[in-house]
Amino acid sequence: MESPEHHLYYPEDHVSINLIATDQVTEADSVNLHPNDIRRLDERIHHEHKRKEFIASRTALRLLRPQYMLHYEGRCPILDGPGYISLAHSQEYGAAIHHPNRRVGIDVEPERPKLSRLATKFLNMAELDDVARGDSQFKLQILWGAKEALFKLHRMGGIEFKKHLFIDPITVSESGTVDAAIVTDDENIPCKIGWFFHANQYVVYAVSEIPLSP
């Protein structure tokens, strides 16, 4: 079977990201997924478009890491063997990210004009001040995507976007990086946030700056 059209990005050393439009996959593509993904798809996802979103993100992973093996811890996919992954989807795209030795997270979103209504719920005071300095919609999109990606990177639960996830001021550009951290009573994990645009989607990813447990 011919592989769906996909879009590979290598935004920095060791980081590889693959994107597939949901309209490029069909139910037939699910047969090439890992058995754990096929089981999860059949047992948990029944809405037609939600199935396509799931298939798109897992197909993006398969084309990024052929012969991948994984299991799930809750909702989090974990590679069996070396390397770290994260998956995401919007209505229009599925995304996968891989790093050989650092934990990662990814988010993909269209523009969400209503984020301004939620800002005080997921941003701390320093981040709100950054948004207030201008280019607010762009910064809100990056900050939301960054916190989603950091949440996926952390994986352990108990994380509050406003209380535990911190992102330095953002420089407005079509692609870029910014420092961030996950800070709890027990941890202080420095991370790097990166972003770029694909079609009409904001693609935002997080990479831990230190080794973490598998």
Please tell me the class of the 7-101 domain: alpha beta
Q: Please classify residue 124 by burial: count the beta carbons closer than 10 Å to its beta carbon, then call 0-12 exposed, 13-18 middle and 19+ buried.
A: middle
Give 107-171 as a DSSP string: EEEE--TTHHHHHHHH--HHHHHHHHTS-HHHHHHHHHHHHHHHHHHH-SS---HHHHEEEPPPP
CATH superfamily of 107-208: 4'-phosphopantetheinyl transferase domain (3.90.470.20)
**Residue-by-residue pLDDT tens, the chain, 214 positions:** 567 888 999 999 899 999 999 999 999 999 889 899 999 999 999 999 999 999 999 999 999 998 888 999 888 999 998 899 999 999 999 999 999 999 999 999 999 999 999 999 999 999 999 999 999 999 999 999 999 999 999 988 889 999 999 999 999 999 999 999 999 999 999 999 999 999 999 999 999 999 887 6
Residues paired with residue 178 on neighbouring β-strands, in sequence order: 193
The boundaries of every CATH 3.90.470.20 domain in the chain are 7-101, 107-208
Consecutive H or E run containing 96 = strand 93-99
Does residue 60 sit in helix, strand or coil? helix
